[in-house]
Amino acid sequence: MCCFSRKVTSVSATRIFARLVPNNRQALVYSMHLDTPEDVAMILPIPVAAGSGEDAVKFHALDEYPEFFKHLEALFPKPPVTRTARMPAAAGLTKSEPLKVVEVGSFNASFVPTVNDFARLDSQFRLPDDVWAKIGAYSKFGFAVFKLRKGNSKVHPMAFDFPTALDAKLFFPTVHIHDGAVHALAEFDHILYAQPGHDRGVDIHQWEESEALASRDVSIQKAKGLVAGSAHVYKRRMSGKLKNEDVIVTAA
Mean pLDDT (the chain, rounded): 83
- pLDDT on residue 57: 95
- pLDDT on residue 217: 98
- pLDDT on residue 87: 39
- pLDDT on residue 2: 63
Determine the Cα–Cα distance for residues 54 and 52; give it in Å rounded to an integer. Answer: 7
Please name which of 199, 201, 197, 177 lies closest in space to residue 187, comparing C-alpha atoms: 177
82-130, pLDDT tens digit by residue? 444 443 343 333 445 666 666 665 678 889 888 888 878 776 666 666 6
Q: Over 90: is that where the pLDDT of 72 sits? A: yes
Q: Over 60: is that where the pLDDT of 236 sits? A: yes
183-219, pLDDT tens digit by residue? 778 788 999 999 987 666 676 677 999 999 999 999 9
Where are the domains positioned within the chain? Answer: 2-250
Specify the pairing of strand 10-21 against strand 25-36: antiparallel
User: Which of 1.10.260, 3.30.300, 2.60.250, 3.40.720 would CATH assign to domain 2-250?
Assistant: 2.60.250
**What integer is the mean pLDDT of 17-31?**
94
